[in-house]
Structure 1
Amino acid sequence: MALLIVNLDKVIGNAQAWRNTFGEQIPDLPVRFWPDAGEVKDIEYLAFMHPDFGLLPAFPNLKAMFSRSAGVESFINHPKLPKVPLGKVEPPGGDPMMTEYVVMHVLRFHRDMPAYQAAQARREWRRVPIMRPEQRRVGFLGFGMMAKAPALVLQSLGFKVSAWVRSPRQTAEVPLFHGRDQLEPFLNQTDIAVCLLPLTAETEGIFCARTFAMMPRGAMLVNVGRGKHVVDNDLIAALDSGQLSYAALDALWPEPLPPESPLWLHPKVTIMPHVARRPTVAQLATEIVANIKNLQAGGSLLQEIDLAREY
């Protein structure tokens, strides 16, 4: 039995940090780092980020895979994708970094900070009516682990919070809309939209001229999902027309954003270089270990990805 790590040690921590953390939590698990896979028959678990299954060998005894990638669209349809369960490695209660990031941008827009910054540059003493939180409606597209924590923080501050999800759920901490038919009524009552959706064939381009027109005039967008959720030209047109007031984009397409992109210098756009959160080796290793121990006890992956749904 062994775990093979592919690329994680190159983007988060280093090989020694991963060895030390796994050694503390599951000392009997050998940990290897690609391309030093050793005997491929020993590999029962694979943990990766940005894998190239065209280069990886077949692992005859593979039991499960763990993906750190925010999305799986780049490899989910690869012909050499092993036919074993695939799971996400995310903290079950969300990540405080994502929570602070989302709350920060919602509060920036709610309190009209970009306009105050522009007024300061003009040396203008700008005093305008201020909206209270209970007058502002924040809508989350996606209501998984990463969305729930910031949604509840904003709700505790007095904001009217709701969410839109793909399928109906029995209970939730905020009012829920679901399915394609309820997207328009959801957007009709959303002043600040926060996108935390996975990228699938159904969600690509979900923020476009058609959906921007569904939102109240002057609405705002915070995208921490994927870059392809937003049609850039439609976003710029909506901002220029006043249909939207502001947009904060942490995920873009392509990345890095090309220097010639008009988004860089648009006065109503905040560009962030995909920095909403940075998980630690300890966070990720802990979740991988929890999954392995659950599998060894006869259970299943804690956060298994549905290959048909692509999330």
Structure 2
Amino acid sequence: MALLFKVDDARGDIWKSLFQTHAPDIDVRLWPDIGDPSQVRYFAAWQPPKNLHERFPHLEVIFATSAGVDQFDLGELPEHINVVRMLDPGIAKGMIEYACFAVLSLHRQIPLYLQQQQARQWQEHELMPARRRRVGVMGLGNLGVSVLESLRPFGFELHGWARSQKHVDGVECYAANDHLQPFLNQCDILICLLPLTDDTRGILNARTFAAMPEGAQLINLGRGGHLVENDLLDALASGQLAHAIVDVLNDEPPAEDHPFWHHPGIWMTPHIGANTSPDSAFEVLLANIRRHQRGEAMLGEIARDQGY
């Protein structure tokens, strides 16, 4: 029984060392050294290659090394192969850090003050109390709830929206498409942490921005496919949105002439909101393998019909 990783060499060495130390009964292999393909039961990767199930005839589980699986071609995989997303606590911690940095930067008008610095302009602006700033999170899974809980101590008025009804202490929650516009009406700062599915692709569009208060601000920590980039540019040009912080793009890295590079209303980072760390993810992955060996359900198994 073998577990095959397709990751960069440095991370692969760490994964292999951890298994050798704590679970030596599991034969860990690093792509492209696959050995006997008939022995591979588990495969872990950011994005698996095509026809994986044909190359490894006894494959039973694919573990994503990410919190999302939208990069997988689920239609290609037979139903008997389980797909499991990564529930690395380090991912949640990284997202919390980034979201708090982004929200506080926008709340305290840091983009404006940095522009003033470049213009050698010394000007103070009124500070809005956090209790009057409305922050909304799209996506109330593990990451969305963790971000909201971390923002609560600052005193922001918090709102959340998801496909189905959720309850989060101290958060006004909205559900389904019928309640999307009322949710957006309450978002001075909107954070996208949705999974990317057919239903959510392009959800950050002109209609969404128009439903937000004039001068609202956007943080996209989901996927590049959530954002209609030209609609964001139009919303910034009209003043409907004042600023955006984007960590994910449709094409990564963006072309040299991409308008986001030098746009004064956009902060762009290279998909660094959170990364899976073998040190923090190992226990989660090993526990799931042990569950599978015992015939138990694994944590993070995706629903094929929902895509997450």
**TM-score, normalization: structure 2?**
0.94
The correspondence for 1:172, drawn from 168, 172, 176, is 168
Shift of 1:151: 1.1
The correspondence for 1:191, drawn from 188, 194, 199, is 188
CA distance in 2, matches of 1:104, 1:209: 26
Shift of 1:248: 0.2
Choose between structure 1 and 2: higher helix proportion: 2
When residues 187 and 221 of structure 1 are mapped into structure 2, their CA distance, relative to the original with a 3 A threshold, is: same
CA distance in 1, matches of 2:240, 2:218: 11
Unaligned runs of 5+ in 1: none
Structure 2 residue 118 is matched with structure 1 residue 135: no
CA distance in 2, matches of 1:91, 1:190: 29
The correspondence for 2:247, drawn from 245, 250, 257, is 250
Shift of 1:58: 3.5
The correspondence for 2:38, drawn from 38, 41, 58, is 41
Give the match's secondary structure for 1:36.
coil
Give the alignment of 1:13-28 within 5 angstroms: 13-28=10-25
Shift of 1:146: 1.8
Structure 2 residue 214 is matched with structure 1 residue 225: no
Give the alignment of 1:77-156 within 5 angstroms: 77-80=74-77, 83-91=80-88, 95-156=92-153
Deviant stretches of 4+, over 6 Å:
none
Contact residue 4 and residue 43 of structure 1 kept, 8 A: yes
Give the match's secondary structure for 1:203.
coil
Structure 2 residue 303 is matched with structure 1 residue 303: no
Deviations along 1:23-48, one digit per CA (max 9) or x if unpaired, are: 22212111112222222221121111
CA distance in 1, matches of 2:111, 2:90: 31
2:179 is matched with which residue? 182
Unaligned runs of 5+ in 2: none
**TM-score, normalization: structure 1?**
0.93
Shift of 1:221: 0.3
Contact residue 164 and residue 176 of structure 1 kept, 8 A: yes
The sequence identity of aligned pairs, in percent, is 39
Contact residue 87 and residue 302 of structure 1 kept, 8 A: yes
Shift of 1:279: 2.4
CA distance in 2, matches of 1:207, 1:283: 32
Q: RMSD of the TM alignment (CA)?
A: 1.8
CA distance in 2, matches of 1:23, 1:107: 42
